[in-house]
Amino acid sequence: MTIQFRPNTTQTHRGPTAVRRRRIQEGRPFPLGATWDGIGVNFALFSANATKVELCLFDAAGENEIERIELPEYTNEIYHGYLRDVRPGQIYGYRVYGPYEPDAGHRFNPNKLLIDPYAKQLIGEVKWDHALFGYTIGHDDGDLSFDERDSAAFVPKCRVVDPAFTWGDERRPNVFWDRTIFYETHVKGYTMRHPAVEERDRGKFAGLMTSEVIDYIRSLGVTSVELMPIHAFVDDSYLVDKGLRNYWGYNSIGFFAPDPRYLASNSIAEFKELVSAFHHARLEVILDVVYNHTAEGNELGPTISFKGIDNATYYRLLPDQKRYYINDTGTGNTVNTSHPRVMQLVTDSLRYWASEMRVDGFRFDLATILAREPTGFSEESSFLHATMQDPVLSEVKLIAEPWDCGPGGYQVGRFPPGWAEWNDGYRDTIRSFWRGDDGMIPAVASKFSASADLFDARGRKPWASVNFITAHDGFTLHDLVSYNDKHNEANGEDNRDGHSHNLSYNYGVEGPTDDQEMVETRFRQLRNFFATLLFSRGTPMILAGDEFARTQGGNNNAYAQDNEIGWVDWNITPESRELAEFVQKLIILRQSLAMLRRGTFLHGTFDEELGVKDVAWLKPEGKEFVDGDWADAEAKCFGVLLDGRAQETGIRRPGTDATMLIVMNAHFDVVNFTLPEAPGGKRWRCVIDTNLPIREELAPFDFGTEYMVTGRSFLVFMLEPDDTAESEDARRSFAHVSEAFARSAGDRLRV
């Protein structure tokens, strides 16, 4: 079906300025978007298949369209024009003309006001109405029909911005990868119930930069705050109909504009102020970004931006049925990053946030999508090439969620050097082990060593494995040890949504309990999870609020819960505060233990020249595992001996780090563990015992001692060096850890 256009004579313009004419100049095809140069504004919009583009100007409230101006020039598939009398603050949108031919992939409809893909700020939100759709809902021809209703009243508008901002003495923290600890959180969820945040700032960037909030995050010891999506996004119509919202924000419609709901000041400078405040606190800002799909959905979705600008270019369509969309994302559409202009859109967006907004890195939702070519995922994709060679993007942190819903979508370990990746195998393995599942020790040994089988190639380092036990998607850590099953009834889908493979355990009661023994078991398990996470090689990621046992009441898919279920509760109990202080202690120790941050993977091979193994895996009797021991499915207690004399870097010389012994016992009962003798030391000192979380001193234990390891507990011992001259470096390392232990006992969280 092909529609030929005629001027829209039904459009009503209100106000005396509707017929006012402005002087339009040719302008330039670059940069794309609306660019204020101090005199006027250049407008540039890419479309390979459009026949005409009209710039629509609105009044200050964005309610009345006051003028339409045809962009006069078309250069290299870019429509452009320049208006000298337009200033920052001007509200605008586009109407794009061209064939309405869904079977050929074209869905142009100038009755639909469109968001500029390069808009730096949006005002308003999508108001669901049939006018938003390019076709007439209910028509016998479905999406092949053509709708003539004007959508301007129901779509967000774009605003021209002035990018000027005084950064002062702000500097990027530039946290080394080996010291990075991610802290994943949500702008609104983290601030809505915080007692120190002013009511007007709750749920906003302004709330997140409240001094008490920043002080708490900094005192916890994490280095990099990963914000869930802040790009402009849309609340799905089916959620709005149920009185819910797309709380998480994985439904982007603008890749340059922060979502208006997070701006207390109605100015994008508010986000820059947030970044500046975090940087002054030596905290990095990482953005969770969604470039794999947009909120326009499939052929039955609305026409809000890309679909009406150039559907056949922006989206991957079925090659032999261009009416329909390739849906490797599970959301209805897939952004076509194989096209150079679409790739430019993504990389321009990333550079904008890294340069203009000064963020420190990006976590890419369903990153496999971005590296897909028509033949499937490829390490040689244009997206991966573009990011790695770009002088701006190659200097920031790049983190992949390395999977999608398409064929061959699971690609953990396949991203190129320079990238870090979420390691869901770590999550599942550690959950299974502490739940008490049989036969988990070999897998735990692998994941504890930064998954060398996946990442030890092409010069990649252990930090490439982003280790996590919980994230926004799934149970909180508290709920992981409190519920056997998901409880998503509040989502309105009869508890059918969310995954059921949680690898969780409630220890006897589903949900809250007054049984103090059970409560203590649960909190000990929380300590076990945190200790495992923070003492594993790799880059740890903590879900915000887990450190003080935040709950979602068993909801493991709170994507639509913009309420007390999804928001962090800052009414912290004494037990929860003790847990948070224990996590703070673990972080202090991790940052002090160079052994945990080494840039080498653990393989357990004997170094003939140095006469040492980097790691030895021990049975409870203090002897090394032999081949048959790894196959013992009932073994649930083991030790990890990390020898500080092992080679630290590529330079062939003995290491000088403190030697460590880590013991993990997933049995429900006590196991006697014999503390082994270690060269260069005279005794062991206990640093961590999750059964005794509060220790005032490094308790000494002689070699050969049978330590009673409490059921379900995690222990860390440091080797106290002997008095030989050769141990001078080891003594300094041990002293450094001792000082860190003392400091961790004295530091208190600012909460």
734: domain CATH number is: 2.60.40.1180
3-class SS at 453?
Answer: helix
585 and 609 in one domain?
Answer: no
- What per-residue confidence (pLDDT) applies to 726? 59
The domain that holds 461 is classified in CATH as: 3.20.20.80
611 and 586 in one domain?
Answer: no
Distances (CA, A) of 198 to 195, 265, 370, 741, 750: 8, 13, 39, 36, 18
Is 404 a domain residue? no
- What per-residue confidence (pLDDT) applies to 370? 95
154 and 195 in one domain?
Answer: no
**For residues 270 and 209, what is the distance between their CA atoms, to the nearest angstrom?**
10
Q: What is the identity of the amino acid at 242?
A: K
Question: How would you class 43 by CB atoms within 10 Å of its CB: exposed for 0-12, middle for 13-18, buried for 19 or more?
Answer: buried
**What backbone torsions phi and psi does residue 528 show, to the nearest 5 degrees?**
-60, -45
Is 626 a domain residue? yes
Q: Tens digits of per-residue pLDDT, 391-404?
A: 999 999 999 999 99
- What per-residue confidence (pLDDT) applies to 6? 41
Is 3 a domain residue? no
Is 66 a domain residue? yes
Residue ending a domain, choose from 540, 562, 594: 594
543 and 445 in one domain?
Answer: yes
Q: Tens digits of per-residue pLDDT, 571-595?
A: 999 999 999 999 999 999 999 998 9
Is 384 a domain residue? no
Q: HEC string of 336-348?
A: CCCCHHHHHHHHH
Q: Scan for tokens 């309105």, then name that residue.
A: 492
Domain residues for the domain of 131 are: 24-160
141 and 188 in one domain?
Answer: no
Domain count, the chain: 3
212 and 115 in one domain?
Answer: no
110 and 28 in one domain?
Answer: yes
- What positions carry a catalytic annotation? 365, 401
Residues in the chain predicted with pLDDT less than 50, given as ranges, are 4-20
**For residues 537 and 523, what is the distance between their CA atoms, to the nearest angstrom?**
24
- What per-residue confidence (pLDDT) applies to 3? 53
Cβ atoms < 10 Å from Cβ of 652:
9
Is 514 a domain residue? yes
Q: Are strands 539-543 and 24-25 parallel, antiparallel or unpaired?
A: unpaired
Q: Are 545 and 579 in contact (CB under 8 A)?
A: no
Token couple for 6: 């005629």
Contacts of 199 (CB under 8 A, 6+ apart): none
724 and 626 in one domain?
Answer: yes
Is 401 a domain residue? no
Is 672 a domain residue? yes
527 and 462 in one domain?
Answer: yes
- What per-residue confidence (pLDDT) applies to 365? 98
Distances (CA, A) of 389 to 382, 384, 393, 395, 512: 11, 9, 8, 10, 51
Residue ending a domain, choose from 529, 559, 594: 594
